[in-house]
Structure 1
Amino acid sequence: MKYRFIFTKRSENPIKAAFLDRDGVINIDHAYVGNRSNFEFIPGAIEGIRLLRDKGFVPVIVTNQSGIGRAKYSLHEFSELTFWMAGVLEASGAAIGALYFCPHHPTGAFAPYLKACTCRKPEPGMILAAAQDLNIDPAASVIIGDKCSDIEAGARAGVPRRILVKKDGTHPFPDCSTEHETADNLLSAAKLL
């Protein structure tokens, strides 16, 4: 998978990861967040990632980013935002291991991103790629997201612990049929583990 940024070395032994959605879980979902001007951390998100690290999970962001395919922002802008965000998290003791993103959309994007793919959640491609790249054991891992597609992707990838959080920490929970737990936000989710 080429749509990824890896910030840590592959582990010799299998590790456990906390797979995290980005928009609505880590930052306020202002719709198509592709640069720093509209990126705003959700209160408690950085502390939640730090707590996940303290509990032995490697944080790995897995995020649908059809805004690239829809030409809402460029791959370059998204890359700059990702490296800035990763730097802020690292400086806060909440370093992420990697970020995987899907720029595709089956109907609402421009070529070459206009396609059905195996990486756009609810497909499990990003999680499976991260597991391969970093030697992650999905069965020992957790996924935390604000949409049913996050929960479904985790289930399809064999991640047994799936926690649905409120979008932006404030919105009502969506009605998801796949088995999951709930928490108000990322920090609350981290405390469940």
Structure 2
Amino acid sequence: MKQNWRPGTMIYPLPALLVSCGATPDEYNMLTAAWTGTICSDPAMCYVSIRPERHSHAIIEKNMAFTLNLTNRALARATDWCGVRSGRDCNKWKEMNLTPVKGRTVDAPYIEEAPLSIECRVRDIMRLGTHDMFIAEVTNVIADERYINPETGSLDLKQADLITYCHGHYYTLGEELGHFGWTVRKKNKK
């Protein structure tokens, strides 16, 4: 038997990200976001949705840039803390002992401790209601070499120990069930 619920945001799990912003060290800030995702492959594009009252919203709108920083078990406390504190009231970088690094292609820093950072240039802002969606083109991806498989050159997500957000809770990723196309892959004949 199934129940009908009122309309809501029940698409889970989502990435638990730290979004960093600011063109200069005196305006650097970060916030936690889960309303994010990929929207196009070529050109590579993504989005993040942020409430207008959030301190970072005005910074991103002014500079038209942000960086999505994937988080892992080591960043779990910072991820939660940065979601419940405002950069208006404190320096999140100092409080969480994180290192901002000047963006390579955009006016937004990335987090040195993040396993993967995605620099983004805002192309459009959609005013949706409780959130504004910043639609952006990916301009650069910065991967921590500790999490790159030396044999394949790919990011080893299992080793990175990424975390997700699911209906008010944080989780690590679980067991791999397969890879894209595994159900139709032809087996080698011996």
Task: Please report the TM-score for the alignment, with normalisation by the length of structure 2.
Answer: 0.27
Decide which structure has the larger Cα Rg and report it: 2
Which structure has more RCO (C-alpha within 8 Å, separation ≥ 6)?
1
